[in-house]
Chains A and B, each alone.
Chain A
Amino acid sequence: MSSTLPASQPDSQLAPRATVRAGWQAWLPLWLMSAPALLLFSALVLVPLAMTFALTFYRFDPMSGPIAAFDLHNYAEVLGSSYFHTIFLRTFGIAALTTLLCVVTGTPEAYILSRMRDPWRSLFLLVILAPLLVSVVVRAFGWSMLLNTNGLVNQLFGLFGAGPFKLEYTTFAIVIALVHVMLPFMVIPVWTALQRLDPQTENAALSLMASPFTTMRRIVLPQLMPGILSGSLMVFGLSASAFAIPGLLGGRRLKVAATAVYDQFLSSMNWPLGATIAVLLLIANLVVMLTYYRVLERRYARSMG
């Protein structure tokens, strides 16, 4: 489960409090309160991440494991090999497709939900969001059952005389299952944007003689854009680093970045290479996110704040 972007997080939750002016003694109790958390996170997040980054420069000896070194041949290997090119392309292709499908499904659904009356509204919102709390393994397994050759989807096709199609271990299966898992992450920010939307603006547009379609296009959708973009970023990031779904539904031949890392770490034992793939994935993710975020900021900061 993830949240919205880091930069938008801190300030929305931290209301300004009176500045404590007295010198560092006044801050001591606050630091003491935060100390355990700081210690835990420094030791288990900052240090390991730094170590992993260092690991990417190591050499790998199949006999003895990682050897401390400082060369870039791991990076060269990943960035140069067509095998890894395919993997990264597949990873980001899947992520992009998943994001697109989530936008196209999640946005209208959130809008339809916002127009329902309670109790339906709360109920269906729950139905859509609750799967977030069920383990991803269960959901992936459910899809593998639905999509395998004897599964329900093929049986449905069979009713119409079509198929059976081989759906398991395909990119299609991965994308469908990812959309299923990521949908709540799109619905939540769009829903939040909808809550902030003044329903009277739609009526205002109608009174000014706009058709319902024009109202949707020029009044509702622009107001939802920040939510849609925020959701897209989250879905893209999570999909690109997804492990369980591609693992279970992609089979041995359809590798994505996450499963490739797994292979290196737990089969080949080539930790430096695995670390390199992961770091590159992280960097690529950050680049995409930052670019999108810049677009968000520039276009909407003035009007939507």
Chain B
Amino acid sequence: MRHSLTAFLSFFVVGLAIVALEAFFLAARFDQFQSQVLRNSELTLSLMQREAALQRFKLKKEAFESKTALLLSGYNPEPLTVGPETFGDLFSMGVQISPQEVSANKGAKVWTYKLSSSAIEYHRLMPAISALENQYPLGRFIEIDLKTKRPPFALTPGPIEFTGIFSTLRGRQ
């Protein structure tokens, strides 16, 4: 092979390789730059939306806090402590309240409380039962049994036999 042809081919191949590699590297950097620009614009938009949402959230924070506290009332990993704060007038009026599950029972998905009384009149008992239901939106009376202790059509109100089972959903840890 002629020397000139060899030199031409060598220079051509090496020159082309150099230019191609540089162009490839530059193209890759350009792609990276473009994707960074795109990422930045997407991030700007998402940040604006998230910041606006956070602002709106901050404005309603207190309302959200009070609402969630009300709606998730009784949704605890531990059963309610029996007392006037948790069982209101029912406790104050002397209704017997006993939790059916102990807190150590990890398998329990609901907390159940048995309520009973035989010394309270219907007109005093029902508002207290109703208040308990309203206090715990996730609670339900599974059973209510009301029985008069006196013959029907009594002219004065008398105490009634009451038993009830109230359940609330158990909160996760």
Chains A and B belong together in one complex: no
Interface residues of A (CB under 8 A from B): none
